[in-house]
Amino acid sequence: MAKVKKQPRPKAETPKGFRDYFGAEVTERAAMLDAIAGVYHRYGFEALESSAVETVEALGKFLPDVDRPNEGVFAWQEADEEGRGDWLALRYDLTAPLARVYAQHRNELPTPYRRFAMGPVWRNEKPGPGRFRQFYQCDADTVGAPSVAADAEICAMLADVLEEVGIPRGDYLIRVNNRKVLNGVLEAMGLEDEAQKDAVLRTIDKFDKVGEAGVRELLGKGRLDASGAYIDGVGLASDQAEPVVAFLTSKGDDSAATLANLRAAVGSSAMGAEGVDELGEIADLLAAQGYGPDRIVIDPSVVRGLGYYTGPVFEAELTFEITDEKGRPRQFGSVAGGGRYDDLVKRFTGQAVPATGVSIGVDRLLAALRATGRVGGQAEGPVVVTVMDRAKMAEYQKMVAELRQAGIRAEVYLGNPKNFGNQLKYADRRGSPAAVIAGSEEFERGVVQIKDLILGAEIAENATLEEWKERPSQFEAPRGELVARVQEILAGVRK
């Protein structure tokens, strides 16, 4: 009889590009999502939870940097009886599913339809440092409102969100531009070849990295990059490239100066002039609500990927410095962005439906708060009721029930109680604020021992022997005062 081949054990490792989230991280994210949802709800947006799976056809070809609809997504084909089922995919953002939902349910939904959505999205891309294949987004969109008042409202709401989650005024800036202005610049250049237009757009997107001189070179013959490799340029004459340079360098000392410079950059383009007018209206609407240039500013350098945007675009940037992995100071950068996309629903209905929205990168925003010490650290664990006598388990469970009924997070130690030291080590590892101790002697006398683990840690780190004697971290209390004395510890009040 042949020997059965032993199956290898599976590797206990997270797939590349994915990660596991533990207690404090999950709690912090949930708190952030609640805070953001509170702002969205205050602005009149309604929650929507759509399917995590869409047909590839419904998702469309709007994923950045890919040419085919099923490239860059996790997709599979449903098998039917003939072996030809629909291609399905995990959503790569929350906007494409919204377009499908609105097209499907538009007769039952109010117009405009204002919705917010939160949840994970998945992208089948090469992972790297800080780049994951699954991450959380938090979106808010208005569908069916053609007025740029809807865009201005999204920008104001984004500013309120950042301050609500702990980014103070002065540490962020929301920058606003308009795709129509960019299209007007291309029109002013007289470009007709689509490939050349795409090359110009890619060059514009590099402005933050290469600056004005680098853009001039890339629009012309080309340039040497930092590695010494030569990058071919678009091949435009210097006068033909001038509208792009004027556009990218049109930011003035205030909105009025910026708008005037943009009008000059778009020349006689009617579309470009319309885009400048819209930016002016957005600036006026925001100023009327008290959102000045210290919070939201017109900035022509914002291009937002250029995929499906048709009008205003915006990006939230954190302006404070952090230290990178090599100890070098750098700005944290963008944590949210969005814009107007009037043609997305049209794919389903054949009719243009105006829409605008914003997407917040929850993981990046949390990383920013951790980098500044505004969230993070040891999360407070449950009060641990230790077990000194297994025969008294019902009494220990009664204690923990009383604590829970008082709204206190608590648990009975359910490991092997033989080694009492291990129980206290467990409480310490959980970040517990207190441990409750009761053996046969305490039960006979009707008392409990309460160990203040917060104070104990402080004493162990800082106190002298005399201070330790004056401020004991463990004390005795009547059994009937258990809840009250634990509440005192949690409130920082000790007798």
The long-range contacts involving 415-424, CB below 8 angstroms and separated by at least 24 positions, are 417/386, 417/387, 417/388, 417/390, 420/386, 420/388, 423/384, 423/386, 423/387, 424/386, 424/451
DSSP state of 260: H
Ramachandran quadrant class, 109 (left: phi over 0; alpha: psi -120 to 50; beta: rest) = beta
CA distances from 48 to 118, 160, 285 (A): 8, 21, 28
Q: Which residues are annotated as a binding site for L-histidine?
A: 93-95, 123, 137, 141, 304, 308-309
Per residue in 270-284, is it b (16+ CB within 10 Å) or e — as a string? Answer: ebbbbbbbbbbbbbe
> Identity (one letter) of the amino acid at 299?
D
Sign of the C-alpha dihedral computed for residues 62, 63, 69 and 73 taken in this order: negative
Q: What would the DSSP string read from start to end of 379-403?
A: PP--EEE--S-GGGHHHHHHHHHHH
Max alpha carbon distance in the chain (Å)? 96
Short-list 249, 363, 243, CA closest to 299: 249
Strand partners, 75: 89
> Identity (one letter) of the amino acid at 82?
E
Short-list 392, 480, 391, 491, CA closest to 434: 491
Strands 329-340 and 312-323: antiparallel
DSSP state of 349: H
User: How far apart, in whole angstroms, are the C-alpha atoms of residue 138 and residue 133?
Assistant: 16
- Is residue 267 within 8 A of residue 251, CB to CB? The reply is no
> Identity (one letter) of the amino acid at 261?
N
- E-assigned strand segments in 310-382: 312-323, 329-340, 355-361
Measured in degrees and rounded to the nearest 5, phi and psi for residue 248 equal -70, -25
- E-assigned strand segments in 273-328: 296-298, 312-323
Q: Which residues are annotated as a binding site?
A: 93-95, 123, 137, 141, 304, 308-309
